[in-house]
Amino acid sequence: MSRKKVTKTEDFLNLMTEIYDGWKDVRDYDTDHLYYDRTKWISKGISDEWWEYPDDHHRDGDLESLCVMIEQFLRYSMIVKETKIGMFPKVDGIDDEDYLIGDEKMNLKEKEKEKKRNESLTNYLLFRE
């Protein structure tokens, strides 16, 4: 019978120490460096060949990702996620359109253009003589 591998408590505590050390830097990040979907950013970087995964983005990048997501959770009560309907969580004073990474940015801009066209047409129809 094979025995499943269980992580040693010491390994977990060592990782938590590394995360704590990295988090001490991340907690000072401003909104521009914290309010974004970190996972989507990494996936886009790999797809756009910003680096060759996993050679150039390895353990250090993953540790920073954990630190960023922990600080997002602490600061915004959620890990920041980019969706088809915008960014979550919604945060007062932050225009999430400024922080979109992927296709959702285009979707929101197209929706805004369509909304303006509809408003213009409505105004034209209501106020023409």
Domain residue spans of the chain:
9-127
Chain CA centroid to CA 100, Å: 8
Contact 23, 70 (CB under 8 A): yes
- Residue 78 confidence (pLDDT): 95
- Residue 106 confidence (pLDDT): 47
Contact 20, 83 (CB under 8 A): no
pLDDT per residue of the chain (129 residues) written in tens, 0 to 9? 677 899 999 999 999 999 999 999 999 999 889 999 999 988 888 777 776 655 655 788 889 999 999 999 999 999 999 988 888 898 888 887 777 776 555 445 555 666 677 677 677 667 765
The one-letter amino acid at 126: L
- Residue 15 confidence (pLDDT): 96
Predicted structure pTM score: 0.70
